[in-house]
Structure formats: structure tokens, C-alpha cells
């Protein structure tokens, strides 16, 4: 059977507390992330699109990157079918994770004695929507009981854990435009120095005492957690997932036949992606991967 591969990448946000704070701490106390000023409490939700984020919770910076995870193109495994794809209608489609997904690490409480530290994204319900087409499918942790939560299980969630971690990934650093050579330490220091300069400028432009204190705290956090290496060390970190998407009720719409074929709703789909480059000041990182779907060419 022919396989359709949809590639995607871009910036995501996750407002979460970090060690040694409890994973459900609402504002951040002793970790390297904080909810500040007018921002809402942390909720730990992974958001892939800016329209999912309250404007008070989206931190601007000196880097004018487009935020969000988008489709960059698609390919098919059959060489004869590649020219039929409408890539101009596929590129730019929005990728979302539905259902308020979170990294279920819980300060390393989610652990398996054979597999080690586990960090599944729960729930995992991926949606891709373009002009005239739409795909969505979830992967329950337990097929026999789709509503079961990770905290109700003692096994079965290891398959949804990252298959690998890379401490300083050149792929990640290039994606977030930090040159890994000749010195990652110098490059990461320069990265945060530019942020501090930008934040200092913002402080001079506002008379709002709440915003000023928020900017001052962000600068303090960058200084403090750069000295102990926690904040810059996360910039190069890469976690890689690879698993089947097995939900029984995928949703598919392709009115304009951009794929020139029929999506298979019965067989499992598969995804492979990485998330990394987490910026503890902006509370965002980068994602790159693909969704592989069996389908029948037209």
C-alpha cells in the first residue's frame, strides 16, 4: 500500500513549572520558569498555534519568528504518484494537538522499571487542517479502555515515550538559529544577552509597574539560570518520539482531492517527531516531524 507522508515543523508553547517545583505549581517558585505579571497561572498545556494562546500569555521577543507548527509539504512512497500531490494546497496547513495535551513526566514520577523515565504526551490527538482538507486521529494509551489516564496505569505507556534524547542537538540549534559551532556556550550566552537587551528596552517604554516588574524578573531569571546552566542547556535538548496512532475513529475530509487518493482509516497511522530547543524565558520550543498515513492513490 502507498504511504502518504505529511511533514511539519514550527514553534510551540508550553507554560509549565520546572524542577524542583511541583509539576502543577501555578506560578513557579524555585524552577527556571515563572508565570509573571498579568499572565495566567501555568496549565502545562502544549499549544502549537498562536490562536490557542491568550494574548496575555504569549511572550514577545527580539526574534520576529512566525509562531506555530505548520505543514511544510508532503510526499508519497510511490514515485509514480508524486506529481499528483497538490503541494501548494498542502503547505501551510495548521497542525494542532487537541484535548489540552501535556508532557506527563510529573517530576520523573512517570517511570517504568524496565524502560526508565517516561514522558508521554497525553492525550495525543493530532489534527492537520488545510484549505479544503482535514485529518485528525488520536491514540489512546489503552485501546480496550480509551478513557484510561496515565496515572491509572502501571504499564502500557512506554511506547509513547521518547525513543531517544540528545543533550545538544545540532539539528535543534540550527532550527532555532543558534550556531552550534565553534562554541555552543558562547552562542547561547549571546542568544540570551540579546534577549536581555530587548527586555531592558521594553522596560524603558512602559509606565505600567506590573509589566516593569515582569520584565525585571525575566532578566533576573535569565542571569540566574544561565549561571547555573539550566536555561541555556535546554536550548539544545532534543526528545524524539516515534509511535503508531491507533484510534478507531479517524476523521478525514478532502473535498478538493489535494492528495489524489483515499486515506486509509482502518490501518494504523504513524508519527515521528522531535520537540526541543526549549526557551525557559519565552516558554516555547521547536518541533519537527511527520505523519505517515497509508492511502490508495486515485
| Mean model confidence pLDDT for the chain | 91
Q: Is 203 helix (H, G, I), strand (E, B) or coil?
A: helix
Residue 80 has pLDDT above 80, yes or no: no
Location of C-alpha cell 491509572:
152
pLDDT value for 114: 46
Q: Is 21 exposed, middle or buried (0-12, 13-18, 19+ CB in 10 A)?
A: buried
Q: Read off the pLDDT of each residue in 101-111 and give the average, rounded to a whole number.
A: 72
pLDDT value for 188: 94
Q: Is 12 helix (H, G, I), strand (E, B) or coil?
A: strand
pLDDT value for 100: 97
Pairing type for strands 116-117 and 111-112 reads: antiparallel
Residue 34 has pLDDT above 90, yes or no: yes
pLDDT value for 26: 96
Reported confidence tier of residue 260, pLDDT bands at 50, 70, 90: confident
Whether the model clears a pTM of 0.85, i.e. scores above it, the answer is yes
Query: Directed axis angle between helix 209-227 and helix 184-204, to 10°?
Result: 170
pLDDT value for 81: 53
Winning range, highest mean pLDDT, from 42-56, 140-154, 248-262: 42-56
Rounded to 10 degrees, the C-alpha dihedral 50/289/112/248 comes to 80
DSSP per-residue string spanning 51-120: GGS-GGG----S--PPPEEEEEEEEES-GGGGGG--HHHHTT-EEEE-S--EETTTTTTSEETTTEE---
Q: Read off the pLDDT of each residue in 159-179 and give the average, rounded to a whole number.
A: 93
Residue 257 has pLDDT above 90, yes or no: no
Lowest model confidence (mean pLDDT) among 45-49, 151-155, 166-170, 195-199:
151-155
Residue 238 grid cell:
532534543
Residue 22 has pLDDT above 50, yes or no: yes
Residue 116 has pLDDT above 70, yes or no: no
Between 110 and 31, the higher pLDDT residue: 31
Between 86 and 42, the higher pLDDT residue: 42
Percent of the chain with pLDDT over 90: 70
Amino acid at each position: 500500500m502507498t504511504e502518504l507522508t505529511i511533514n511539519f515543523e514550527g514553534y510551540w508553547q508550553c507554560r509549565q513549572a520546572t524542577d524542583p517545583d511541583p509539576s502543577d505549581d501555578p506560578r513557579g517558585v524555585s524552577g527556571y520558569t515563572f508565570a509573571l505579571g498579568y499572565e495566567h497561572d501555568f496549565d502545562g498545556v502544549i499549544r502549537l498555534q498562536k490562536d490557542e494562546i491568550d494574548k496575555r500569555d504569549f511572550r514577545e521577543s527580539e526574534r520576529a519568528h512566525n509562531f506555530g507548527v505548520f505543514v511544510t509539504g508532503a510526499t508519497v512512497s510511490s514515485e509514480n504518484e508524486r506529481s499528483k500531490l497538490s503541494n501548494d494546497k498542502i503547505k501551510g496547513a495548521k497542525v494542532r494537538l487537541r484535548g489540552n495535551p501535556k508532557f506527563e513526566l510529573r517530576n520523573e514520577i512517570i517511570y517504568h522499571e524496565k524502560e526508565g523515565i517516561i514522558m508521554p504526551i497525553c492525550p495525543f490527538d493530532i489534527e492537520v487542517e488545510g484549505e479544503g482538507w482535514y485529518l485528525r486521529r488520536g491514540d489512546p494509551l489503552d485501546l480496550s479502555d480509551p478513557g484510561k489516564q496515565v496515572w491509572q496505569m502501571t504499564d502500557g505507556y512506554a511506547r509513547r515515550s521518547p525513543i531517544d534524547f540528545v543533550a545538544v542537538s545540532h539539528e535543534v540549534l540550527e532550527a532555532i538559529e543558534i550556531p552550534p559551532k565553534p562554541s555552543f556556550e558562547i552562542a547561547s550566552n549571546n542568544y540570551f544577552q540579546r534577549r536581555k537587551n530587548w527586555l531592558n528596552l521594553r522596560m524603558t517604554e512602559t509606565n505600567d509597574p506590573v509589566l516593569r516588574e515582569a520584565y525585571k524578573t525575566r532578566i533576573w531569571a535569565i542571569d540566574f539560570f544561565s549561571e547555573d546552566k539550566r536555561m541555556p542547556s535546554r536550548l539544545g535538548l532534543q526528545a524524539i518520539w516515534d509511535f503508531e496512532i491507533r484510534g478507531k475513529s479517524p476523521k478525514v475530509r478532502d473535498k478538493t482531492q489535494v492528495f489524489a487518493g483515499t486515506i486509509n482509516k482502518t490501518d494504523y497511522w504513524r508519527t515521528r517527531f522531535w520537540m526541543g530547543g526549549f526557551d525557559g524565558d519565552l516558554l516555547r520550543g521547536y518541533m519537527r516531524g511527520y505523519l505517515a498515513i497509508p492511502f490508495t492513490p486515485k
